[in-house]
A and B are shown apart, each in its own frame.
Chain A
Amino acid sequence: MSPALATVLLVLLAGIVFVLPLLPALIELRLKRDAYPLNVIQQYSGEIRHFSYGFRIYIEALLEPLEKCVVSGTALKGAMPDGDEYLLLGNAGAALFSSAGKTIPNCSSIVATGVDMVLPDGVTFTKEVYAANKLMSGKKNVFRALLGEKDIHLGRASTINRWAHAVGALRAGPDCELHGRISSDCEIQLDSGCEFQRLNAPRIALGHLKAEAADAAPKTAETSLPVDRRLVEEDLEIKAGEVVTTNIVTRGRLHICTGARVLGSVKSNRHMTVDANVSVEGSLISASTMHIGRDCRISGPIIAEHGMAIDTGTRCGSPQTPTTVTAPTIEIADGVVVFGTVWARTEGHVVPQR
């Protein structure tokens, strides 16, 4: 081989070795396969009813035939344009879920009911259920998603897998598992033993409430919150009955004793303990865990970065000033009322009174 050819080959080889690792980059630069902006959903507003709104539009075409089924008292089967089967129930349709006296365990059609409906126990609905009137589920029903134009009552140990929305009240019996988004335009009531993730309603009642307590709305803060703040480097205890007129930020633990009243917001960077009958006009925030005692009144958002427990009788927010209660894990005792949102990222439980 001549020296000239060897040199050319060497340069060529070196060039190939240099360009080879850049090939994927050059191809991407040329073809622009992933040259779009990241997908930021401009209209995203975190609306909990997003899926129920979408489903209502999806089944709009079924409402007229459903009405006819109600008038004629019949049931109708068919298929949506995308191929999903549906079942419209105009009257006594629950009988369709049982055969020869035995309940059929699975229903794989979209179900729409036009009359008040009582579902049998133990049925799993693998597609969405729409109820134009009241819906009362049986025990251990499993729903993929559920939209009710009036009240919904879930029987003991029923499960929602994705979302449920009731235009009326939504009541869940003991030991229900409510995954995903659960909302109502009126009220949500969860019995003891229920598990949940995200709840939203003007009024959320958890566990059994005393009638007088249930109807008593917390006092609403009319005045604007203070802007002054008190910074504390170590642990802090707010004494029983003390009235605090500023915002408070502590780097250590915070203990608010019985009957204290805070007119501003409170933040602790470690565990926060709030004793019984405490009132906080602003927000309550812990960078760690939080325990809120009995019969407290908290007006603003309640946030715990690692976990939260709330005792019976406590009221969060008010009908006029709804609020959010959020933590990765939330344990709420019987008899707590929240006006607005409860959001447990990992899981929330309604537990019996301690």
Chain B
Amino acid sequence: MLYPLIVIIGLIFVYTARHYLFTLNRLFGFQRHPYIDIDTADWPKVTILVAAHNEEKVIAHILTALMSAHYPQEKMLVIPVNDRSTDRTREIIDRFCNDYPGRIRPFHRAGGKGGKAAALKDAMNLVQTEVILIFDADYTPGGGLIRQLVAPFFDPEVGGVMGRVVPLNVGTNLLTRLLDLERSGGYQVDQQARMNLRLVPQHGGTVAGVRLSALREIGGWNDNTLTEDTDLTYRLLLAGWKTVYQNRSECYEEVPETWQVRIKQIMRWAKGHNQALVAYSLPLLFGKHRATLRERLDGFLLLGVYVMAPLTLIGWILALGLFYEGVAPLHGVIALLSFTAFATTGNFAAFFEIAAAARLDNSRQRICLLPFLVLGFAVSIFCVSRACLSQLLAPITGAQFHWDKTERFRTTP
């Protein structure tokens, strides 16, 4: 029991160090925003795909926002990808098509494989531009966002672009407030630090862009995965394309307001991420491709984030088992020192990251909620572990992956 525990502690130490590295870089390091100052250019034609499955509550908001974007009208085409909706989504989209002739071309999908990746894959037949942006229907892009997300594509090394997601329904309840803090840490610190350190910023599949030639080179959208964004990040990386993160390209989104919806969401993310872990770990670490050593290592650690939840649980069980067996290497001195060191630094690495993010965002009082993050952490660790276990048992139980749509909470316009 001791050696597996030492391995797990070693892994936790690596992730702790990673959290601190990112946070310190964000607080004191050189910040990279190379494309944000491009404000005048011969802007390329762009296609904006809006993924929509039963989105009657939100689809009108995003289409209205896109129609007032500061981008040359003749160079921007919006394609709402209406994926087998059974509510009023189709009707709302068609109304917008009539109101804005030539600027919106709908793609109504009546059948086929479920899931966002499959819908985007089918919609690609309508795309004729080199630059593609992707939004989920619950997002509300601001006026300058389209130009900010297109600008990095002037760099011929860039295959994917990711903007920052900002929760809109923050004040609804404790969950939305915790998710606001988590998003803040994830984007303001994690993603931007990866950008600064030339590591692997993750493509999020929304408030994002992809280069058509890069997408074709890697074989298009993968509809066999639950997280097409993570999958895309790694396939682009392996093919020598960079994904860049634009921290100042912010866009409002709606976060889950109930724990059931949140649990479904995080379990889907965990399963999809683990699919990518299995598919790309070895090629990433040992394959012959253009990724740098630091990209290989960071990319591998990023793939492993959801596996750390069950490993931590196993670590707790092993530690308890060893305690009751009376195992105390070096008379417990090492254990005591390790426990003290972990309690003072390791335990708080993620919280430190989120606190730093709140500080960078200039939010004052919301930092007070940090202790409640333990609640979100506890829910996540069990849900993710459950997702991992069901994935491991899938070959025996015969369970099939299926795509759960995230429920919307906005009032119908």
Contact = CB atoms under 8 A, between A and B. Distances in A.
Given A231-B240, A285-B154, A43 B366 contact: no
A227 interface: yes
Interface stretch (A44-52, A107-115, A134-142): A44-52
B144 A46 contact: yes
A36 B368 CA distance: 14
Interface in B206-228: 212-213
A148 interface: no
Give the interface centre of A25, A40, A251, A287 by most chain B CB atoms within 10 Å: A40
Contacts of B184: 38
A354 interface: no
A193 to B, nearest CB: 24
Interface in A227-256: 227-229, 231, 233, 247-249, 251
A300 B155 contact: no
Contacts of A322: 40-42
Contact of A229 (B156, B361, B368, B369): B156
B409 interface: no
A151 to B, nearest CB: 22
Contact of B251 (A21, A22, A40): A40
Interface stretch (B30-38, B114-122, B311-319): B30-38
Nearest to B169: A37
Interface string B168-195: 1111001001001000100000000000
Nearest to B198: A287
B252 A37 contact: yes
Given A27-B368, A301-B38, A267 B157 contact: yes
Contacts, number: 139
B167 interface: yes
B60 to A, nearest CB: 16
Contacts of A299: 42
Contact of A35 (B34, B166, B170): B170
A343 interface: yes
Given A45-B144, A305-B34, A233 B42 contact: no
Nearest to B250: A40
A273 interface: no
A268 B364 CA distance: 41
B130 interface: yes
B372 interface: yes
A324 B155 contact: no
Contact of A323 (B34, B42, B366): B42
B358 to A, nearest CB: 9
B364 A34 contact: yes
Given A45-B144, A322-B41, A303 B250 contact: no
Interface string B21-45: 0000000000010110111111000
B144 A323 contact: no
A120 interface: no
A40 B372 contact: no
A324 B148 CA distance: 13
Given A35-B170, A37-B170, A324-B41, A29 B369 contact: yes
A210 interface: no
Interface string A260-303: 00001111010000000000001101010000000000011101
B39 A249 contact: no
Interface string A189-231: 0000000000010000000000000000000000000011101
B301 interface: no
A323 B40 contact: yes
A24 interface: yes
A28 B252 CA distance: 23
Nearest to B148: A46
Contacts of A44: 142-144
Interface in B94-152: 130, 140, 142-144, 147, 151
A35 B370 contact: no
Contacts of B397: none
A343 B37 contact: yes
Contacts of B70: 45
A33 interface: yes
Nearest to B170: A37
A244 to B, nearest CB: 12
Interface string B236-265: 000010000000001110000000000000
A316 B124 CA distance: 35
A34 B366 CA distance: 6
A38 B370 CA distance: 17
Interface of B: 32, 34-35, 37-42, 65, 70, 130, 140, 142-144, 147, 151, 154-157, 166-171, 174, 177, 180, 184, 212-213, 240, 250-252, 290, 361, 363-366, 368-372
22 contacts: A22-B372, A24-B368, A25-B371, A25-B372, A27-B368, A29-B372, A34-B365, A35-B171, A35-B177, A37-B168, A40-B251, A45-B144, A46-B39, A228-B213, A231-B290, A247-B156, A267-B156, A300-B42, A303-B155, A322-B41, A323-B40, A323-B41
Given A266-B156, A303-B154, 19 more contacts: A28-B368, A28-B369, A34-B363, A34-B364, A35-B366, A38-B184, A38-B361, A38-B363, A40-B166, A231-B240, A247-B156, A248-B156, A249-B157, A267-B155, A283-B155, A283-B156, A301-B154, A317-B40, A324-B41
Q: Which 3 A-B pairs have the closest CB atoms?
A: A35-B171, A34-B365, A247-B156
